[in-house]
Chain A
Amino acid sequence: METGQQARRTTVLPWISTVARLGLAAVWLIAGGLKIGDLAASGRAVNAYQIFPYDVAKVIGAAQPFLEIALGLLLLVGLAVRLSAGISAAFLLIFIAGIVSAWSRGLAIDCGCFSSGGELGAGASPVYGWDIARDAGFLVLAGFLLWWPRTRYSMDGVLMGDEQ
């Protein structure tokens, strides 16, 4: 027996989740798409955090745009949404940790979140607070999907027989 409230939850929540899923997919596709054209620059952006040795930073920088685009596509089609959201959340936490680390060490870098990043010139100030707030916003999307992974127009729905 469903009460009216429960019925609303089961009708409305999948739609909210769908918006979150597509929003997060767009974030990854754009972030990856802006980096994939210059993998060397992407490696330099990772290197600018001065966390990894350059050779490791280069490998991370090369793999990252492809991972972001793959994750974006997986969310777009809605395959294993809970896991994809969980991996998204893990990536976002790593990115936030990286920005906090750069901030706390007084580095003046572009986070390289939606660009190839690198060190900022003299006179340009980093905007770490905004970068973190933005990533935290994306984390909310991922968190919502973790709690409520059932969405409309998803591969999961088709495979599980939810969508007719």
Chain B
Amino acid sequence: MSKATKDRAAQAKRIVAEQKAKERRRVVTLWTSVAVVAVLVIAGLVGWGIFAGQEKDNAGSVTTPPTAVDGGTAFARGEGPVTIDIYEDFMCPICHEFEDAAGPTITQLVDAKKVTVNYHPIAILDRYSTTEYSTRSAAAAAAAAQGGKFYEYHETLFANQPEEGSAGLDNAKLIELGKDVGLTDQAFADAITNKTYTGWATKVTDTASGSGVTGTPTVLVAGKKLDNPSAQALTAAVEAAAA
């Protein structure tokens, strides 16, 4: 073979090899892309499926406290013409501050029969405790409502609010706090121990989110949200609604 023929043969070989490599890249790119899209579609569907399953499980375990009002999502206090809706999480420090700052004003308005307050205990801060304290405390408040002591228990929960990032108060402590406000019957303790109302707390949270509550405290006066909940803003809004 002459040198020129050899060169040509080598060149032809190289071109064929390059074409083969190119074809291989094309096929690999195609099928890996198909695999990526399939993996992502499946992952999304799995997420949706798991969540739908969780929602269904919860829906099956909801025990609505008989004394709850507003579609079974709140506990009422007072009997005035203007409705105040308060969405609160017992883990939320700003709810505690709001309660300290505006609590006396609310009590005055209730005593003067100017307002009806619907307290919605929701659980959006479960990640701030290691024991889902938000959900457990909201459920405990529902148990307290069945014993006729929602407001007293609500006060004591804020007064004993655990630190963010802690384990929260355990069930024994929640039961003990109930005893302090007169919830001495076994039904209250059992409801906490048996998690009777935790499914309800999750449902109330979901209902609140669906109606546009994205944080706590959210305060509505006659259905209108207060931008900066404070005692003054509350009084002004109640007066405006009553006028």
Contact = CB atoms under 8 A, between A and B. Distances in A.
Nearest to B230: A122
Contacts of B43: 63, 66-67, 69-70
A38 B134 CA distance: 13
B66 interface: no
Interface stretch (B48-56, B68-76, B183-191): B48-56
Contacts, number: 110
A39 B44 CA distance: 12
A71 B47 contact: no
Given A44-B209, A87-B40, A80 B35 contact: yes
B186 to A, nearest CB: 32
B214 A70 contact: no
Q: Tell me the dominant secondary structure on chain A's binding face.
A: helix
A40 B94 contact: no
Nearest to A120: B215
Q: Tell me the dominant secondary structure on chain B's binding face.
A: helix
B36 interface: yes
A38 B126 contact: yes
Given A63-B48, A80-B35, A47 B214 contact: yes
Interface of B: 21, 24-25, 28-29, 32-33, 35-37, 39-40, 42-48, 50-52, 54, 92-94, 124, 126-127, 202, 205-206, 209-210, 212, 214-216, 228-229
